[in-house]
Amino acid sequence: MNNNDILIRLRYALDIKNTEMVEIFKLGGIDLSKEEVLKVLTKSTEEDGFDLDEENDDHIPCDDEMFESFLNGFITFKRGWQEPKPGQPEKPALTYEHVNNLLLKKVKIALSLTSEDMIEILESADVHITKGELGAIFRREGHKNYRVCGDRYARNFLKGLAIKYRG
């Protein structure tokens, strides 16, 4: 799964409107028009043999920086703007960690989910995970118990969100 696919699935699962997507990107520090957001929300045709290096007016690839900025904006959108504490930067620094781990962490924060909620969401998509395994995904990269979140967990987490919020 690439970042565009994740955004498409997250948007569907949480029923986020186009205007809200524009606002979320803006809160994350990226100014995109509604038309540009729609181009980000199109599937790439890379698997069809299309070379993404060629100019394509119908698709804007979402790189890791844009994706993390969107997730930071999503947290602000859902939880409101929080004044930075003294000595804290105005805008959160980008972490550049694995995309799926980042997705689970930031969505958990934005939706104020507990670990039990996360496990329940995954179980609704027929994925069984222990609290310890989930904790390993939330650890900081470099920690001895850190685990990379695979596409299977991320895909099923988004499926579980759709079941919970749309079902």
What pLDDT is attached to residue 90? 63
pLDDT at 71: 95
Identity of residue 7: L
Longest Cα separation, the chain: 51
Alpha carbon distance 15, 8 (integer Å): 10
Nearest-angstrom CA–CA distance, 3 and 29: 17
Q: What is the pLDDT of residue 43?
A: 80
Distance CA 81, CA 58 (A): 33
Query: What's the pLDDT at 82?
Result: 77
| C-alpha to C-alpha distance for 95 and 108, rounded to whole angstroms | 16
Count of residues making up the chain: 167
Element (H, E) at 154: helix 151-166
Q: For every one of its 167 residues, what pLDDT tens digit does the chain have, with 9 covering 90 and above?
A: 899 999 999 999 999 999 999 999 999 999 999 999 999 998 866 554 444 444 556 889 999 999 999 999 999 999 988 777 776 666 666 666 789 999 999 999 999 999 999 999 999 999 999 999 999 999 988 899 999 999 999 999 999 999 999 87
Return the pLDDT at 88: 63
Q: Residue 76 corresponds to which tokens in the numbers above?
A: 């602000």
Residue 56 confidence (pLDDT): 53
User: Rounded to the nearest 5°, which phi and psi values hold at 128?
Assistant: -105, 125
In three-state form (DSSP H/G/I as H, E/B as E, the rest C), the secondary structure along 35-98 is HHHHHHCCCCCHHHCCCCCCCCCCCCCCCHHHHHHHHHHHHHHHHCCCCCCCCCCCCCCCCCCC
Q: What is the DSSP letter of 148?
A: P
